[in-house]
Amino acid sequence: MSIGDLVRALPKCELHVHIEGTLEPDLMFSLAERNGMSLPFQTVDEARAAYRFTDLQSFLDIYYRGASVLQTAEDFYELMTAYLDRAAADGVRHAEIFFDPQTHTGRGIGFKLFMDGFRDAIADAGRRTGISADLIMCFLRHLSGEEALATLADAEAHLEGVVAVGLDSSETGNPPELFEEAYARARSLGLRAVAHAGEEGPPGYVWSALEVLGAERIDHGVRSLEDEVLVSRLVEERVPLTVCPLSNLALRVVDTLEDHPLPTMMERGLLVSVNSDDPAYFGGYVGDNYRRIHESLGVDEAGLVALARNSILSSFLAESRKNDLIDELARSERDQGELA
């Protein structure tokens, strides 16, 4: 069995993917045309050539510009459908998907419009492929804590299908503490809490995501390794870290994939999963991330199975569904053993 077949056969969850980061250039062009908008690129190839980033901010500037072509509920439906079909083909059984409401409300597009598009696409994809998905509403950390609170107030009538809040965008200089009130309010509404921390920002931001925001899962968290006390805490409390190797390579968090700390994180006993982040911009969906860590980091078959298992355990699924997926993973391991 090829590594591609093996990866596809592993039942897995994807826990760190921004829906706006799944906007492939061809869909971006067709939506721009349909909506009578211009883009800073003339062709799909020109767009792809512009996807060479020096850091997180250089990516975010292009990513927010790209998202502006999303105008109608149908656009959001097509975006979500395209992602879910790709994810299902990669063996993803369940996805917890970030969306950035302020990127859209800031352009005058209301919650109902994009939530209708997302929810219809999730329901239809579930019927078509069996995949399930929940949404994670992110606050943009380059905007203020007050704006996050106002966004949450706007969201309150539209929270069906939203399992958690998250924190994304420009990390350096925008610490978690600024969003303490918004997170407290979200948790009081019954939402779970995750946060991007330790991607470009220091380990101190991981501490404050845990202690100030009450984050139950850390997105990226690769810089946690710089703080031994933090690593011990994350291991002891089994705090999941959603790691995105191809993203870290594209945004120069690491110089080469061979330098990625994922194997060290696994050896240290951290509950890490592998995810795609913004696959249309970083050159690979979740299956590509599994394949590339096998090729470049030597993560063997047992390691890939362990990562798929971690992704299930790290999700916000009910225990009964987690157990079903763990059983399915064990069956797929047995089938592969028989084929080998």
Torsion of CA 35, 38, 42, 48, to 10 degrees: -80
Nearest CA to 309 out of 332, 293, 289, 291 is that of 332
Judged by CB under 6 A, the chain residues 8 through 27 that form the site for ligand ADE are: 18, 21
Q: Which is nearer to ligand ADE, 242 or 329 (CB)?
A: 242
Question: Residue 96, interface with ligand ADE (CB under 6 A)?
Answer: no
24, 75, 134, 199: which one contacts ligand ADE (CB under 6 A)? 199
Phi, psi of 171 (to 5 degrees): -80, -50
Q: Which does 199 bind (CB under 5 to 8 A by kind): Zn ion, ligand ADE, none?
A: ligand ADE
Nearest CA to 286 out of 245, 325, 330 is that of 245
Question: Residue 102, interface with ligand ADE (CB under 6 A)?
Answer: no
105, 151, 174, 247: which one contacts ligand ADE (CB under 6 A)? 247
Annotated active-site residue in 14, 199, 200, 333? 199
Which parts of 169-214 fold into alpha helices (H)?
180-188, 203-211
Q: Which is nearer to ligand ADE, 178 or 317 (CB)?
A: 178
Question: Residue 158, interface with ligand ADE (CB under 6 A)?
Answer: no
Q: Report the Cα–Cα distance between both ends of the chain, in Å, rounded.
A: 7
81-115 b/e with 16+ CB inside 10 Å = b?
Answer: bbbbebbbebbbbbbbbbbbbbbbbeeebebebbb
Question: Residue 333, interface with ligand ADE (CB under 6 A)?
Answer: no
Question: Residue 176, interface with ligand ADE (CB under 6 A)?
Answer: no
Question: Residue 168, interface with ligand ADE (CB under 6 A)?
Answer: yes
22, 68, 71, 169: which one contacts ligand ADE (CB under 6 A)? 169
User: Which residue is at the shortest CB distance from ligand ADE?
Assistant: 168
Nearest CA to 250 out of 220, 282, 277 is that of 282
- Residue spans of beta strands (DSSP E) within the chain: 12-18, 92-99, 132-140, 162-168, 192-197, 217-220, 240-243, 271-274
14, 277, 288, 333: which one contacts ligand ADE (CB under 6 A)? 277
Rounded to the nearest whole angstrom, what is the least distance from the CB of residue 36 to Zn ion in the complex? 31
- Residue spans of beta strands (DSSP E) within 119-261: 132-140, 162-168, 192-197, 217-220, 240-243
Q: Which is nearer to ligand ADE, 14 or 199 (CB)?
A: 199
Rounded to the nearest whole angstrom, what is the least distance from the CB of residue 220 to Zn ion in the complex? 7
Q: Which is nearer to ligand ADE, 90 or 168 (CB)?
A: 168
Torsion of CA 209, 215, 220, 223, to 10 degrees: 40
93, 158, 196, 292: which one contacts ligand ADE (CB under 6 A)? 196
Rounded to the nearest whole angstrom, what is the least distance from the CB of residue 286 to Zn ion in the complex? 13
Told to judge if 199 belongs to the known catalytic residues of this protein, a careful annotator would answer: yes
Cβ within 8 Å of residue 222, ≥6 positions away = 198, 199, 241, 243, 248, 253, 260, 261, 265
| Rg of the chain in Å (alpha carbons) | 19
Q: Which is nearer to ligand ADE, 199 or 216 (CB)?
A: 199
Q: Which is nearer to ligand ADE, 56 or 162 (CB)?
A: 56
27, 56, 178, 262: which one contacts ligand ADE (CB under 6 A)? 56
**Sites of contact with ligand ADE (CB under 6 A):** 18, 21, 56, 168-169, 196, 199, 247, 277-278
Catalytic residues, by residue number, are 199
